[in-house]
């Protein structure tokens, strides 16, 4: 069975990679809904662009006829 996936990219973010990685590592292996809720309440500056990126990936997945409830973050870098 082939795994379907949705990919979204964020380029030219002017925040230090170490600071973004702190937030990104919290999201690995979480469901998309859980990750979205986590980002909404994070005070760090990197949370807002990552939330926008996550919502873009979710939107891409919905356009590929994938179920939002079954989505999870397999990899983020």
Show Cβ contacts of residue 31 under 8 Å, excluding neighbours closer than 6 positions.
69, 71, 72, 73
Task: Identify the pLDDT of residue 77.
Answer: 86
- For residues 45 and 13, what is the distance between their CA atoms, to the nearest angstrom? 11
pTM beyond cutoff 0.85: yes
Per-residue pLDDT of the chain (77 residues; tens, 9 = 90+): 567 888 899 999 999 999 999 999 999 999 999 999 999 999 999 999 999 999 999 999 999 989 989 999 999 88
């Amino acid at each position: 069975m082939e795994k379907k996936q949705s990919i979204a990219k964020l380029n030219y973010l002017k925040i230090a990679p170490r600071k973004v990685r702190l937030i990104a590592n919290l999201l690995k292996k979480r469901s998309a809904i859980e990750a979205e809720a986590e980002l909404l309440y994070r005070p760090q500056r990197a949370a807002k662009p990552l939330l926008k990126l996550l919502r873009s990936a979710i939107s891409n997945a919905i356009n590929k006829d994938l179920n939002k409830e079954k989505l999870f973050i397999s990899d983020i870098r």
